[in-house]
Amino acid sequence: MNQQVKMIEKQEVVIRFSGDSGDGMQLTGQQFSDTAALFGNDVATFPDYPAEIRAPQGTVGGVSGFQVHFGEERITTPGDLADVLVAMNPAALKANLRWVKKAGTIIVDTDAFSDKNLEKAGYASNPLEDGTLTDYNTVPVNITLLTAEALKETGLDQKSVLRCKNMFALGMTYWMFDRSVEHTEAFFDGKFGKKPVVALANKLALRAGYNYAANVHALAVHYRVAPAHIAKGKYRTITGNRATAWGLLAAAEKAGLPLFCGSYPITPATDILQELAIRRDLGAKTYQAEDEIAGICTAIGASYGGNFAVTTTSGPGLALKAEACGLAVMAELPLVIVDVQRGGPSTGLPTKTEQSDLLQALYGRNGESPMPVVAASTSANCFDYAFAAGKIALEHTTPVILLTDGFLANGAQPWRIPAMSELPEITLRVAKEGDAYKPYDRDPETLARTLAIPGTKGLEHRIGGLEKMNITGAISYVPENHQVMTDLREEKVARIARSIPEQEVFGNADGGEVLVVGWGGTYGHLYSTVKEMRKEGKDVSLAHFHYINPLPLNTGELLGRFRKIVVCELNLGQFAAYLRSKFPQFTCLQYNKVAGLPFTVAELKAEIEKILN
């Protein structure tokens, strides 16, 4: 107990909190992440939780985890393996041991390692005693007992006391990484302002954990991770779903329109609806519809009515919305459809991440139904791409699908707050009273049609799902006209390429041996992989796509500069297939994973290494 405490400088650390789904592990991880970010570290997080709200207690299926990667350099992934694991029970240890580095630190609540809990976790013998943890630095602590002891003066019942044991564990990690408890204390004062005893209990547990770690020196090491060298400015931590909601609100403000969101709750997209529901103060109208179809249909009605309309969903919901997506294509109304992708098909893995809705987004409708598709690649840039999707929808009079995923949606990272004045303007073509209005008259440059807001005198007109006569919008079954309108709708979407940025390359912009191609939420892992390999002198570059349909104008030319192209994605090769259809002259190799989990840098490196050789 009296061993010397070492102070070790580290560039980056990965810590994983794990426990029963009722143990408050998401809150614990989020607090650690916020505290690290406030200190000035760059941070990436990965919440990993079961679909069941209260899965059977103590079982491996019910384990909830939250991984935080923080450091003094740019952090783009939550990290492959953890330096530190906090395991609140045997099931958490069992589920997470494979994600801990050899010689990593494992903090366990020994009080939870009862025979019953060991049996529930499927352990035949106690892993704390049978040599399972020989390769690790195990720190056994009576977290439950010590928390109860620390809280005995509060008068709280046993159940409430036990709820605070996560804070004891968090306090220990704060000491371990030389972090202050202040932010978390302030959090509890704010959260339980009306229940001061609960706030006090959490703070007592937090302090007790911190002091325990400091006093007993059980941890033997004390780490210091310096603040990151990041650009000046104001920062906040933001999750992908919140960033998406705020990007949509920003687009509404820039366009000068009220935001209308018609949605139905679905994991992992629900937070966006919830975030928007708070924003009555910004005039946001959220409408929790009776089903996914009503979600998009109310949004389509609102779009016709002159609001900036959005609907939010995940893969199964997008499938239900498909027919209405086609109506928005036909009526040429602005609309943003957010698909926070999850593991599929069918109900699939609701809380796990995947990129397998790409082809559904591109093609999952009846008829020739072109729709722009945009993908965010980090939790923070969900804001930028939600804004971009809104701008495209409004300026090009088209529905737009924004793809994010469960990994981006629930992950959080520090974000430099933009000023609204930094964002581009959004300009709509809207007819005014007195104009000679033709509903399908178009802007000669973008082919966007002119909108007329119902209520405007003299612009009464009818739109709908039947084919329209070019320009006038009257119903038309004329064969030549259907060809013209089909071509116009296709060309209108294709011309969006003129107003999006060119595709960039990280690495050798002039070309080289291997080009790694990715899109969407895999950016962090692909970037880290390519960066590390380049440090090792490997000729590897990265082209990570955000604009999927249309693709940036330089895409074909860019792909042609590399000897080998490998498309890495969390599906069976959907973007690769899409690229092949657009650019049959190139050979697209693939690396795919469909495990409900992000890539790891280690597996990506191994794969790309094979392609290099």
Partner 1 sequence: MSEEVKYSPKDFKSDQEIRWCPGCGDHGIINAVWKAMAELGYPRESWAVVSGIGCSSRFPYYMNTYGFHTIHGRAAAIASGLKNANRKLNVLQVSGDGDALAIGGNHFIHILRRNVDMTLLLFNNEIYGLTKGQYSPTTKLGVKTKTSPYGTIEVPFNPGELAIGAQSKYFARSLDTNVALTAEVLVSAVKHRGTSVVEVLQNCVIFADGVHAAITDKELKEERQLILRHGERMIFGKNRDKGLVLDGGRLKVVEIGHDGVTEQDILVHDAHEPNPFLHWMLVNMSAPEFPVAFGVIREVEAKTYDQALDDQITEVRKISPIRCMDDLLNSGDVWEVR
Sites of contact with partner 1 (CB under 8 A): 34, 37-38, 40, 183, 230-237, 246, 249-250, 253, 258, 260, 262, 279-283, 285, 287, 289-291, 293-294, 297-307, 309, 323-324, 326-327, 331, 417-420, 453-466, 474-475
d(CA 508, CA 525): 18
Contacts of 115 (CB under 8 A, 6+ apart): none
Query: Cβ of residue 17: shortest distance to partner 1, in angstroms?
Result: 20
Inter-residue contact 545 to 588 (CB < 8 Å): no
Give whichever of 85 and 459 is closer to partner 1, judged by the CB atom: 459
Give whichever of 469 and 500 is closer to partner 1, judged by the CB atom: 469
Query: Cβ of residue 43: shortest distance to partner 1, in angstroms?
Result: 12
Give whichever of 23 and 292 is closer to partner 1, judged by the CB atom: 292
Q: Which residues are bridge partners to 82 per DSSP?
A: 100
Give whichever of 233 and 345 is closer to partner 1, judged by the CB atom: 233
Contacts of 261 (CB under 8 A, 6+ apart): 248, 272, 273, 276, 284, 285, 286, 287, 299, 309, 310, 311, 312
Inter-residue contact 85 to 100 (CB < 8 Å): yes
Burial of 110 (0-12, 13-18, 19+ CB in 10 A): middle
Inter-residue contact 450 to 441 (CB < 8 Å): yes
Query: Cβ of residue 460: shortest distance to partner 1, in angstroms?
Result: 5
Q: Tokens 């946001």, residue?
A: 284
Give whichever of 54 and 416 is closer to partner 1, judged by the CB atom: 416
Contacts of 530 (CB under 8 A, 6+ apart): 506, 507, 516, 540, 541, 542
Give whichever of 84 and 309 is closer to partner 1, judged by the CB atom: 309
Give whichever of 255 and 558 is closer to partner 1, judged by the CB atom: 255
Give whichever of 112 and 331 is closer to partner 1, judged by the CB atom: 331
Query: Cβ of residue 562: shortest distance to partner 1, in angstroms?
Result: 36
Say whether the peptide bond before residue 550 is cis (omega within 30 degrees of 0): yes
Residue 436 main-chain phi, psi, to 5 deg: -80, 100
Residues listed for the chain: 613
Query: Cβ of residue 583: shortest distance to partner 1, in angstroms?
Result: 35
**Beta strand 285-288 pairing with 512-519:** unpaired
Query: Cβ of residue 306: shortest distance to partner 1, in angstroms?
Result: 6
Q: In this structure, how many other beta carbons lie within 10 angstroms of the beta carbon of residue 79?
A: 27
d(CA 321, CA 333): 15
Query: Cβ of residue 290: shortest distance to partner 1, in angstroms?
Result: 4
Give whichever of 151 and 459 is closer to partner 1, judged by the CB atom: 459
Query: Cβ of residue 414: shortest distance to partner 1, in angstroms?
Result: 9
Cα three-residue angle 35-38-42, rounded to 5 degrees: 95
Query: Cβ of residue 461: shortest distance to partner 1, in angstroms?
Result: 7
Query: Cβ of residue 574: shortest distance to partner 1, in angstroms?
Result: 27
Query: Cβ of residue 605: shortest distance to partner 1, in angstroms?
Result: 31
Nearest to 257 by CA among 198, 222, 304: 304
Q: Tokens 């103590």, residue?
A: 58
Give whichever of 233 and 501 is closer to partner 1, judged by the CB atom: 233
**Dihedral angle over CA of 166, 167, 171, 173, nearest 10:** 30
CA 136 to chain centre: 32
d(CA 530, CA 534): 6
Region at 399 (left for phi over 0; alpha for psi -120 to 50; beta for the rest): beta
Q: Tokens 């209005």, residue?
A: 437
Give whichever of 430 and 497 is closer to partner 1, judged by the CB atom: 430
Query: Cβ of residue 496: shortest distance to partner 1, in angstroms?
Result: 25
Give whichever of 310 and 505 is closer to partner 1, judged by the CB atom: 310
